[in-house]
Amino acid sequence: MITRIEIDGFKSFVGFAMDVRPCTVLMGVNGAGKSNLLDALDFVRRTVTMGLQGALSGANPRLAARDLFHHADGHGDACTASELTIKIGMLVPSTYGPLPLVVRLGVGRDGTPPDPVRVAWRGGRVWVSSLVHTEWMDRLGLPGQLRAAVAAARKAFLDRNGTDWAQLRGSDAAPGGPRSEGARELLGVLASETATWERIALDPAAMRRPFGGSDELTLLADGSNLSAVLQRLGSGELRDMEADLAALIPEASAIRPVFDHRRGEYDFDVRFRHTGWTSPPMLSDGTMRVLALLAAWYDDRRAGLLAVEEIENGLHPTRIAELVRRLRRDVDDFPDLADRARQVSGFRQLIATTHSPVLLSALYDDPTGSLVFLEQASRVDPARAGISTVTRARPVREPRADEEPGETVTAEQVKRLLEAMGQVIA
């Protein structure tokens, strides 16, 4: 479970920092940096699992080398950041309990667009937090039981392994001696945690086609193996999913996974009260998206982060808030983590981006900071004589005594904004 994101020099982020809660909804207009934030998570995920060159292989076109580094308005090399760093704090389930990990990676730049840009590995590491600084626990409001469990997990890991960090390599072929058992374990835990950081960007057309691949895979980013995931769900999970589907799409009453043995393909049908069983080609985009998000949420093999971009896409405005409420209901909130750490492979967390005023209206009075505005701001860099547009995060909650004015958005401010937009407050 991600608890903190700090980014400098990557895309629209300069000196960016944001606390992350079990359910975090990122609100912002197009271009505010919502997709860039998910790109940062994907960049770390790919670098951890495939090395730097693997992360830049082209599988995600948004991670092209020329687009990674923050660029200011102006001319020449001086207006582009020469380095980027991404640092992410997290709580990870383990045999020791909820383990507090931090991963940090750095990348340097040679060349400036439109000229070819080359990247150089500046180093990276993962470590067990020393817990010397615990302000993040205070900001997130971690309960005492969880704090004690986090400290005990750290101690147990160190007692067993004698080390609390491991170096990340820029590529699989990077030189270096054999790692210690503790370092290998840390890297394995990190790889398992980051495996779910890929955003869900669903393609209804791909989901409508039968799937002929493995039923062992978790939901793919485009949702194309939805039918195989449905086939794998247990009867209990499928019943619960059907109940959620009926609440979101009242006419839907049941889901029937289908396997075509002759063709070796997975498929499914959805039953509607007045029209009976209906195959995917006849389902709306909104229905397909709801099915995929619920399937990913109920699939234990995908336990961890569910990152959804523009969660409102294809959904009727009246269903958006209810979908988020139902996904939010099953996140592993902080009081749950101490007891669940040894039972699960990943803590359930939801990060969703949106620019829907309907969803804003439904969540604006949540005082925890789960709703975060991502906004554009102008930044002047005297050293480079340039002005750039950067992303800043403003959580919706009451400001703390040590915060500057404008660092947060109050519920009353959001209410006035919604009223000015003509939005009915629920």
Divide the 426 residues of the chain into consecutive groups of 10 and give the mean pLDDT of each group.
97 95 92 94 94 88 90 70 96 97 95 77 95 93 97 96 90 54 93 92 95 92 96 94 94 96 96 95 94 93 91 85 90 95 94 88 82 88 73 90 84 80 56
Structural domains in the chain (count) = 2
Reduced to 3 states (helix: H, G, I; strand: E, B; else coil), residue 341 is coil
Task: Cite the beta strand spans of 139-251 per DSSP E.
Answer: 165-168, 199-200
Residues 276 and 399 in one domain: no
The two structure tokens encoding residue 121: 């590995």
Q: CB under 8 Å to 117, separation ≥6 — which residues?
A: 65, 66, 68, 69, 109, 110, 111
| Domain's final residue, options 279, 302, 325 | 302
Residue 37, pLDDT score: 97
Under DSSP, the state recorded for 163 is -
Q: Is 111 inside any structural domain? A: yes
On whether both 13 and 158 belong to a single domain, the answer is yes
336 and 222 in a common domain: no
- Based on the domain organization, do 298 and 308 belong to the same domain? no
DSSP 8-state symbol, 11 = T
246 plus 279 within the same structural domain = yes
**Residue 229 and residue 211 in contact, taking contact as beta carbons nearer than 8 Å:** no
With residues binned 3-state (H G I as helix, E B as strand, rest as coil), the percentages for the chain, rounded to 5, are 35, 25, 35
| pLDDT reported for residue 173 | 41
Instruction: Please check whether residue 201 lies inside any domain of the structure.
Output: no
| Whether 162 and 232 share a structural domain | no
DSSP 79: G
Distance CA 229, CA 294 (A): 11
Torsion angle of alpha carbons 253, 259, 260, 263, nearest 10°?
A: 130
Quick check: helix, strand or coil at residue 166? strand
Q: Is the separation of the CB atoms in 48 and 38 below 8 Å? A: no
Tell me what pLDDT residue 113 has.
62
Which of 269, 302, 335 is the last residue in one of the domains? 302
- Grouping H, G, I as helix, E, B as strand and the rest as coil, residue 351 is strand
What per-residue confidence (pLDDT) applies to 114? 67
Q: Does 148 map to a domain?
A: yes
Whether 214 and 102 share a structural domain:
no
pLDDT confidence of residue 88:
98
For residue 400, what pLDDT is reported? 85
Sequence letter at residue 181: E
Write the DSSP string, 280-295.
GGGS-HHHHHHHHHHH
Same domain, 215 and 230: yes
Regarding whether 160 and 56 lie in a shared domain, the answer is yes
Domain coverage including residue 104? 2-196+304-420
Domain contains 190: yes
Q: Provide φ and ψ at 242, rounded to 5°.
A: -60, -40
Q: What is the CATH number of the domain that holds 114?
A: 3.40.50
Report how far residue 368's alpha carbon sits from residue 366's, in angstroms, rounded to the nearest whole number.
6
Same domain, 167 and 294: no
3-class DSSP assignment, residue 23? strand
CA distances from 416 to 294, 409, 411 (A): 33, 11, 9
Q: Report how far apart, in Å, the C-alpha atoms of 149 and of each of 34, 91, 146, 182 are.
A: 33, 11, 5, 20
Looking only at the bridges linking them, the beta strands covering 83-92 and 99-110 are: antiparallel
Q: What is the reported pTM?
A: 0.92
DSSP notation for 238-264: HHHHHHHHHHHSTTEEEEEEEEETTTT
Among 105, 104, 89, CA closest to 20: 89
What is the pLDDT at residue 177?
47
Are 373 and 267 in a shared domain?
no
- Within-domain flag for 425: no
122 SS3 class: strand
Of 281, 302, 323, the residue that ends a domain is 302
d(CA 300, CA 310): 23
Rg (CA), the chain: 22
Task: Flag whether 215 is in a domain.
Answer: yes
Q: Please check whether residue 426 lies inside any domain of the structure.
A: no
- Same domain for 165 and 69, yes or no, is yes
Burial of 248 (0-12, 13-18, 19+ CB in 10 A): buried
